[in-house]
Chain A
Amino acid sequence: MTETTMTNTSPPARPEGLQGIAADWASDQRAFKNVSWGKAMMWIFLLSDTFIFGCFLLSYMTARMSTRVPWPNPSEVFALHMFGRDIPLILIAIMTFVLISSSGTMALAVNYGYRRDRRKTVILMLLTAALGATFVGMQAFEWTKLISEGVRPWGNPWGAAQFGSTFFMITGFHGTHVTIGVIFLVIVARKVWRGDYDTGARGFFTSRRGNYESVEVMGLYWHFVDLVWVFIFAFFYLW
């Protein structure tokens, strides 16, 4: 069956206003006209993941608000002793700066990817991965420090036991996301370096041909992980 069977070839007038929006949205083939399958899938996954982090953070807030035991003071707990005095939140400030910077390098990598500048793309992606790995490393340092001071999932020297449990659970879950991101950044960077997206080489598992949009989809995930960190930072360290 081909198009020639259609007699009415002139497109009908599009409805205006809200009806036009609805008509576009409900039109055939694709609801989002300029969005590829991979990008749509990543967005929907991130929406689902938002609910996971949302549930974690809401549970944390419930625990913190309902406990009758005092909550440890974040300014003191997360302070580092440097230059002869305690500086509150200094490590977290640096970690946050590193992670937010990595979003910048990621955005640049996406741009250079679409310009087919493989060299710069790879450098920027690896830089992003390095910043992400630095973040995870500093998180490991933070965990080590807290553990050596006696913080455990089931208790800590300063107050509510839920402090340790929510802290390790939420930062751990976020750190896992960052680690997975670093691994996939390296994988995608390797593909860019080999020119897989120029030659249309098939993926090892999926046997689909990739293209430079993979860099952007990777970037979506990375920015999401950064954004989640902003919320964790605000709710956990600044509250």
Chain B
Amino acid sequence: MVDVTPGSVEAIPPAEVPEVELYHPHSWWTTYVFSQDAKVIAIQYSCTAIAIGMVALVLSWLMRLQLGFPGTFDFITPEAYYQFITMHGMIMVIYLLTALFLGGFGNYLIPLMVGARDMVFPYVNMLSYWIYLLAVLVLVASFFAPGGPTGAGWTLYPPQAIMQGTPGGQQAGIILMLVSLILFIIGFTMGGLNYVVTVLQGRTRGMTLMRMPLTVWGIFTATVMALLAFPALFVACVMMLFDRLLGTSFFMPAIVEMGEQLQHAGGSPILFQHLFWFFGHPEVYIVALPAFGIVSDLISTHARKNIFGYRMMVWAIVGIGALSFIVWAHHMYVSGMHPYFGFFFATTTLIIAIPTAIKVYNWVLTLWRGDIHLTIPMLFALAFIVTFVNGGLTGLFLGNVVVDVPLSDTMFVVAHFHMVMGVAPILVIFGAIYHWYPKITGRMLNEALGQFHFWATFLGAYLIFFPMHYLGLMGVPRRYNELGDMGLISDSAHHLNAFISVMAFIVGFAQLVFLFNLIWSIRHGREAGGNPWRATSLEWQTPETPPAHGNFGKELPIVYRWAYDYNVPGASQDFLPQNDPGDYAGAKGH
């Protein structure tokens, strides 16, 4: 018997919290629009995030058009290119990935997986979505503002972000961007408080912390991190807004603009970088940790085997979360820092490789001699491991000061972060959608379209981003709208750029197939039943599919075991749901 979960309760204690009364909707509006049901809010979050994500996808196409075929498209001016690059980055990182993982999957899965009827404060949860939507609308509004959206790069570094030469710097663009971010943070905080309190205080009987599926651990830890990291961005946004609107000099040094001395004096641009990256680095893991958690569950379910080293997986998640708060200045090696700081931040950065490697080994060991079903979610999960290892290894390059300095601001960096926090988490999102879509709609997604989508996305993404490493090593700088006739860059770079652009279009169109699949399968997909993957966690044990308001019918489930009882020797079936009380050899410790 393997004692995987110490401190587990053997006798189920009585309920500590009386049943909460849910708000019961009275009309179509309160059922589907101003809904307080976390599942509806999750779908609202997801649809909004995917919609704005499509905008970012189109922006990346426009960028690739320019990079692959410079000078061919007149409407992509250098200014427009910077605007595309800025909005693409900002939308993808914050409005798509953060919102989809925490607002979308968090809202849908947390209450179902921990056995709660809903989030603890559904009304606040509803407000969270509407403020997020407002933030998205303000962001979209900047496309239509005079001067267009900001072109400062997604890091919005001052002083250039609020100066004349930058698109939107002296017009509305940067203001709308900052206001939108502030709104997003307010909205996220409302939701985030709900997720954290639901996980800590709202679990069902028998659901100990060490019996929670890793998905919940990932989302929970990411949310705690977000609640502590977003304040730094909030403060940075407020201060830059004042610099831009009131003429303060928080980030603005004495500076000459277009031959004129500006009124600003004495501010510190480096201060902004510290604030931004104190948010920005945890943000990487805010996106990655939910992906880690979800992928663990996908692998365990589809390999019909318990997750290897559950306890270490949990501690790795928590450890990565804590470490990620003391590595931020590795984004600033070229900004000018005391060399000892570089030493410190390089060390902490490389230490993160340890818990991350533990996770990767555990995924691989979970697969080891498992009963692997190559379903679409499993394919995406496997693709994630490969991609993440790839992106993680280039992270070791960039974490070292001496290697980072020559590679800074080259396409190598672009390749690295797209692999590790672009492609890898998005592969998990796809896998998760294929995995949970049957629970959300009651129907399976189309398998053939899914196969096409997977192979096009996985291979295509590699063909896009793998060559970028080579471009970066060659010295091709990032954020240049065209390379021109730089002597140091060989012809192969230009050919490669054209190739990458073509691949970007193919991968982009594959996503349209996926969207079609999402919509088509709602009506025409195969009936899924309640538990098509024969999974153990609580969301698959609901009486109705899709789960009704309140999730679990009359009585909340009681949890007797962890979420990974697959192929238990002596059990009657190859999986034992968490709320299955049946006794078997080895059940007690779990």
Minimal beta-carbon separation of A175 from chain B (angstroms): 14
Q: A26-B208, A27-B208 are in contact. Are A59 and B275 (CB under 8 A)?
A: yes
- Contacting pair A48 B248 (CB below 8 A): no
A28, B193: Cα distance in complex, Å: 20
Q: How far is the CB of A26 from chain B (nearest CB, A)?
A: 4
Q: Say yes or no: A48-B200 contact (C-beta < 8 A), given A1-B581, A26-B7, A41-B120.
A: no
Choice from A7, A40, A48, A51 contacting B583 with Cβ under 8 Å: A7
Contact A40 B197, beta carbon cutoff 8 Å: yes
CB distance from B514 to the nearest CB of A (A): 35
> Complex formed: what's the CA distance from A205 to B228 in Å?
28
By the criterion CB–CB under 8 Å, are A162 and B249 in contact? yes
Contact between chains at B121 and A37 (CB < 8 Å): yes
Question: Which residues of chain B (224-250) have a CB below 8 Å from chain A?
Answer: 227-228, 230-232, 234-236, 238-239, 242, 246-250
Contact pattern, B 572-590, Cβ under 8 Å of A = 1, otherwise 0: 0000000101010000000
Q: Give the secondary structure class of B's interface.
A: loop
- Min CB distance, B497 to chain A, in Å? 40
Report yes or no: B16 in contact with A30, Cβ–Cβ below 8 A: yes
Q: A22-B7, A37-B121 are in contact. Are A29 and B189 (CB under 8 A)?
A: no
A12, CB-defined interface residue at 8 Å:
yes
Q: With A41-B121, A47-B227 as known contacts, state yes or no: A154 contacts B193, CB within 8 Å.
A: no
Question: Taking the nearest CB of chain B, how far is it from the CB of A109, in angstroms?
Answer: 23
Task: Please tell me the number of chain A residues within 8 Å of chain B, measured between CB atoms.
Answer: 62
- Comparing A61-69, A123-131, A222-230, the segment that makes contact with chain B is A61-69
| Chain B 67-121 residues near chain A, CB threshold 8 A | 120-121
User: Could you tell me the distance in whole angstroms from the C-beta of A206 to the nearest C-beta in chain B?
Assistant: 4
Q: How far is it, in angstroms, between the C-alpha of A48 and the C-alpha of B189 when the chains are bound? A: 8
B231 touches A30 (CB 8 A): no
- Tell me whether A10 is interfacial, beta carbon within 8 Å: yes
Contact string against B for A residues 1-35, beta-carbon threshold 8 Å, 1 for contact and 0 otherwise: 11101111111100100010011011111111101
Assembled-state Cα–Cα distance A3/B581 (Å):
10
* Option from A1, A11, A153, A206 in Cβ contact (under 8 Å) with B121: A206
CB nearest neighbor in B for A203: B123
**Which of A9, A11, A27, A48 touches B7 (beta carbons < 8 Å)?**
A27
Bound-state Cα–Cα, A25 to B9, Å: 12
Bound-complex Cα distance A23 to B200 (A): 14
Q: Contacts of B569 on A, CB cut-off 8 Å? A: none
Given A12-B10, A45-B193, are A162 and B581 also a contact pair (CB < 8 Å)?
A: no
Point out the residues of chain A lying under 8 angstroms from B66, CB to CB: none
Pairwise interchain contact A26-B231, C-beta atoms closer than 8 A? no
B200 touches A161 (CB 8 A): no
Q: Judging by beta carbons under 8 Å apart, are A59 and B246 in contact? A: no
**Contact partners of A30 in chain B: CB under 8 A:** 16-17, 200-201, 203
Residues of A within 8 A of B206 (CB): 28
Bound Cα distance from A108 to B559, whole angstroms: 42
Chain A CB within 8 A of B557 CB: yes
Q: What is the bound-complex CA distance between A149 and B249, given in angstroms?
A: 20
Known: A6-B581, A19-B6, A22-B7. A154 touches B204 (CB 8 A): no
Whether the Cβ atoms of A5 and B209 lie closer than 8 Å is: no
Would you give the 0/1 interface string for B12-56, flagging 1 where the beta carbon is closer than 8 Å to chain A?
A: 111111001101000000000000000000000000000000000
B11 at the interface (CB under 8 A from A): yes
- Which chain B positions have C-beta within 8 A of A28? 9, 12-13, 203-208, 211, 559
Given A1-B558, A32-B200, A47-B228: A52 in contact with B9 (beta carbons within 8 A): no
Whether B196 sits at the interface, judged by CB under 8 Å, is yes
How many angstroms from the CA of A40 to the CA of B202 in the assembled complex? 11
Choose among B13, B21, B197, B239 the residue that contacts A44 (Cβ–Cβ < 8 A).
Answer: B197
Q: Which residues of B contact A6 (CB under 8 A)?
A: 11-12, 581
B263 interfacial contact with A, CB 8 Å: yes
Closest residue of chain A to B271 (Cβ to Cβ) is A62
Q: Does the CB pair B197–A41 fall under 8 Å?
A: yes
Q: Which residues of B contact A1 (CB under 8 A)?
A: 555, 557-558, 579, 581
In the assembled complex, the Cα of A67 lies from the Cα of B250 at a distance in Å of 11
The minimal Cβ–Cβ distance linking A137 to chain B, given in whole angstroms, is 24
Residues of B within 8 A of A25 (CB): 209
Given contacts A26-B7, A153-B242, 17 further A-B contacts (CB under 8 A): A3-B12, A22-B6, A25-B209, A26-B209, A27-B208, A28-B12, A29-B13, A29-B201, A30-B203, A31-B209, A38-B121, A47-B228, A153-B246, A153-B248, A160-B266, A161-B266, A208-B21
**Could you give 22 example pairs across A and B, Cβ below 8 Å?**
A1-B579, A8-B11, A12-B11, A26-B7, A28-B12, A28-B203, A29-B15, A29-B205, A32-B201, A37-B197, A37-B201, A41-B121, A48-B227, A48-B230, A55-B234, A55-B278, A154-B263, A162-B250, A165-B246, A166-B250, A206-B124, A207-B123
Which residues of chain B have a CB within 8 Å of any CB of chain A? 6-7, 9-17, 20-21, 23, 120-124, 189, 192-194, 196-197, 200-211, 227-228, 230-232, 234-236, 238-239, 242, 246-250, 263, 265-268, 271, 275, 278, 555, 557-559, 579, 581, 583
| A interface residue numbers (CB < 8 A to B) | 1-3, 5-12, 15, 19, 22-23, 25-33, 35-38, 40-41, 44-45, 47-49, 51-52, 54-56, 59, 62-63, 66-69, 153-154, 160-162, 164-166, 169, 173, 205-209
Q: Which 4 A-B pairs have the closest CB atoms?
A: A23-B7, A165-B248, A51-B231, A55-B235
